């Protein structure tokens, strides 16, 4: 288990080395409250030879060991049902003997999980990191890095606006940025704050009528507004359930969690 003097850079380095199969440990466990960024961290490790599994929807096949899989990513492990707990127990044992690595996440530390005792013990093997709250500045910095990695040409005021006006968990924020990227590509417009507001209004069912100008202030040609509305509707359909009128006039959100080892 990582000691109290550890810091975020240690966890980042550990995750990087788990991803490239170079870490001497085989097991790592992340824990923290809902919307703390656990799923975001696990999904960031997904690659060709990695397998992401959400325990809430896990199948026996998903938890089956395969030599070609170098990294297993088991999210929300407290939601494993009794049958899948047996499969996860077997996976731990096979990884220890045959090779590979496993990163798990849960809402609480391993000893607090309401799972089989032998499985709880195995989840305590290796490295354990707790996730603690991020500041807004930390979030903006983290998303700035994501934007650079994905080559998103974000305007400088987009991220501060999202942090202030939108749901503050990592998954929701990344979903909106993904949608904004697609909307930008399909409308051939830059990823600016006016474009973001337009996208969010569309997802909230608030996009205006056909005579609404574009962000340059020029009226759109006939039919263009309808096409724009259709594109925005298609892109935001998958995230509309996460967007409410608070997106436009929000209440302050709760804290987000950042990786701080314990």
What is the reported pLDDT for 102? 98
Count the neighbouring beta carbons within 10 Å of the beta carbon of residue 38.
25
80-102: average pLDDT: 97
What is the reported pLDDT for 131? 84
Range of the domain at 197: 136-253
**Spatial separation of the C-alpha atoms in residues 254 and 68, rounded to whole Å:** 40
Residue 72: CATH number of its domain: 3.40.50.300
23 and 91 part of one domain: yes
Domain boundary among 104, 134, 164: 134
DSSP designation for 221: P
- Sequence-distant (6+) residues with CB within 8 A of 185 are none
**What percent of the chain clears pLDDT 90, i.e. is strictly above it?**
42
56-64: average pLDDT: 96
Domain boundary among 134, 160, 181: 134
């Amino acid at each position: 288990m990582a000691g109290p003097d550890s810091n975020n850079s240690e966890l980042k380095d550990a995750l990087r080395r788990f991803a490239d199969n170079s870490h001497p440990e085989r097991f790592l466990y992340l824990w923290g409250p809902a919307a703390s960024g656990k799923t975001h961290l696990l999904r960031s490790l997904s690659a060709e030879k990695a397998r992401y599994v959400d325990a809430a929807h896990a199948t026996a096949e998903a938890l089956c060991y395969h030599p070609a899989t170098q990294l297993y990513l088991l999210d929300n492990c407290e939601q494993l049902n009794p049958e899948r707990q047996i499969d996860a127990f077997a996976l731990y044992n096979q990884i220890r003997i045959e090779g590979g690595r496993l990163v798990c996440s849960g809402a609480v530390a391993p000893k607090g999980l309401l799972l089989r005792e032998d499985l709880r013990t195995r989840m305590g093997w290796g490295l354990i990191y707790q996730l603690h709250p991020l500041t807004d500045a930390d979030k903006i910095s983290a998303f700035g890095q994501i934007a650079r990695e994905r080559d998103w040409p974000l305007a400088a005021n987009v991220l501060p606006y999202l942090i202030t006006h939108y749901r503050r968990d990592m998954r929701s924020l990344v979903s909106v940025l993904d949608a904004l990227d697609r909307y930008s590509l399909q409308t051939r417009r830059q990823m600016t704050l006016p474009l973001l507001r337009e996208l969010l209004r569309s997802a909230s069912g608030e996009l205006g009528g056909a005579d609404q100008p574009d962000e340059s202030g020029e009226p759109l040609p006939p039919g263009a507004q309808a096409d724009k509305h259709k594109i925005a509707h298609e892109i935001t359909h998958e995230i509309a359930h996460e967007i409410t009128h608070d997106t436009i006039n929000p209440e302050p959100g709760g804290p987000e969690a950042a990786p701080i080892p314990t």
